[in-house]
Amino acid sequence: MLVNVRLQPYRLVVSLGVFILVTLALYGLSGRSRPISPAGAEHDRTAGLSGAVSHNGSSTELLEADRFAWPFEYSTASNQSSFCEERFGFGYLDNFSQRSAEYCTAESASHMTCFSSITETKTRRKDAFCIAGPVTFDVDQHKFVLDCSLRDLSLDELNSGLPRFTNLPAYWYSTGPKYIFNTAVGFATMLGATPPSTIKAPSVTIVLKREDEYKNIWHALLEIFATFMTLDILRMAHNPATKAPYIQPSDFSNTQMLLLDHLPDGPYSELWHLFAQKPILRLSDITSSSQLEPGNIIVPLAGGGNPFWQGDWNSLGCTDSPLLRAFSRRVLSYYQIHDPPKQPDDPLVITYIDRTTKRRLVDQAQLLDALRLRFPTIQLNVVDFAQLPFAHQLAVDRSTDILVGVHGAGLTHGMFLPRGSALVEILPFGLKHKGFLNMAAMLGHSHFSAESIDDRTQTSAHGDWQADDVYIPQEAFLELVEQAIKKKMES
């Protein structure tokens, strides 16, 4: 049976009440929000659940939410190598949380703490993110302003891997802390900012400049994923002045995204509201300082600093990633995607990614017809994901047993397949990319791949693997998919 998913109507309604409950389940513990403060400053340390909201206000629901709080999900022992654990597991968050420094002098009214990690082994790049405050907003400069005199880091701090302020990292598409501080943050002294100890409920503004590839699911999700990890690290790390986490879940209701770019929202922008529940703002929209409350800013880990960009060209041998699994669960929970009920006699569901602009599969219709004839009991769905809302895309993912496609961002949907699924990847001629192989292994999926043939008569190729259509003989295509079918039927 050949099913074109683009013709199937979908409807999804997510109520506000469910959204609040899901957010609590994901983030668990809550408490009084606190601004960054000078060492030794006194604060109201009253603990409580004032920021937590349940449908009926019962303590039972709050305790249930606490049970699923990060980093509880990472408390189980891992059999991974230290390399895998420190790059794709809880060790990554833990190491990041333990390497930080104050970048403002003790005399400054504002404070800025930056965290750093080194996971990119070739260049030894120091990835970093920062939290700073209190800030004011200068409408004339169109910048946040910190009452901060920058200090020189000590030799011990530098040797630990922390970058000087002038060496904060920058990434492609003009992203990362260096770009954000140069563009949107100024430094001055004594601007009359409210002392931290008098701010009872400071706002949190996440300042981000997105990559231009905002429609590309891989780029966009890794950017959101990087901000997730930033917030998790800030929840794990304790402010030495307050002995409390830098942020807590109760802060999310008073948090908003401020975008420095001029790009449209894009198909995945809704996910920012998982942790920034205020409306998204753009720097260009701010005409009055009253639009931003005094509080803290977070300059998050850039998408280009996400460790899942690394190791694309080598098989890493990592067979688990708590980070990736947790991110996938968070996304699915946000959209309330549930697995469809399965019966023993249900057909195997193969979802084929229909590429319509570049890197198309030559003779695609004939190949899919041949697949249907070779395996008449399968259900074959042909999906142009770009034509579906993201929530509907996720519903397709969760009903899929085998995902088939030419190499490209569409295979990112492997993140959301049920554990034990299969990924079938057709690689352009000469491309030795291993990124989706590694992703599949970390999520418990099988991965099968074949390289297309360099047949320039068939594909009118020009040597550009990103744009050229790909050609694979029919029998090679059928044998490749058959491997995945056999593996899935054995499981």
SS3 52: coil
Query: Which residue type sits at 314?
Result: N
Output the six-digit token pair for 120: 């990119």
Q: How far is CA 127 from CA 120, 303, 321, in A?
A: 8, 11, 20
Cα–Cα distance for residue pair 371/37, rounded to 1 Å: 63
Using the structure block, give the residue that is written with the tokens 């029919």.
Answer: 474
Q: How far is CA 465 from CA 257, 408, 424, 427, in A?
A: 36, 11, 18, 9
Task: Answer yes or no: pTM beyond 0.85.
Answer: no
Q: How far is CA 258 from CA 43, 63, 292, in A?
A: 28, 32, 10
Per-residue pLDDT tens listing for the chain (491 residues): 444 443 343 434 334 444 444 444 444 433 333 333 333 333 332 222 222 222 233 332 322 333 234 455 555 556 789 999 999 998 899 999 999 999 999 999 999 999 999 887 777 889 999 999 999 888 888 899 999 999 999 999 999 999 999 999 999 999 999 999 999 999 987 544 444 433 334 588 999 999 999 999 999 999 999 999 999 999 999 888 888 899 888 888 889 999 999 999 999 999 999 889 888 999 988 887 777 776 899 999 999 999 999 878 889 999 999 999 999 999 999 999 999 888 888 999 999 999 877 878 999 999 999 999 999 999 999 999 999 999 999 999 999 999 999 999 999 999 999 999 999 999 998 888 899 999 999 999 999 999 888 755 544 555 666 667 889 999 999 999 999 999 999 87
**Which parts of 375-487 are beta strand (E)?**
379-383, 402-406, 422-427, 446-451
Cα–Cα distance for residue pair 126/177, rounded to 1 Å: 11
Residues pairing with 143 in the sheet: 138
Q: Is residue 235 a contact partner of residue 248, using CB atoms and an 8 Å limit? A: yes
Residue boundaries of the structural domains of the chain:
11-309, 337-490
Cα–Cα distance for residue pair 440/419, rounded to 1 Å: 9
Cα–Cα distance for residue pair 478/1, rounded to 1 Å: 16
Q: How far is CA 208 from CA 54, 90, 211, 315, 469, in A?
A: 31, 24, 10, 32, 35
Query: Which residue type sits at 196?
Result: P
Q: Which CATH superfamily is domain 337-490 in?
A: Flavodoxin domain (3.40.50.360)
Q: How far is CA 15 from CA 19, 85, 330, 335, 408, in A?
A: 6, 37, 17, 10, 33
DSSP string computed for 107-167: T-SSEEEEEEE---TTT---EEEEEEEEEEEETTTTEEEEE-PBPPPPHHHHHTTPPPGGG
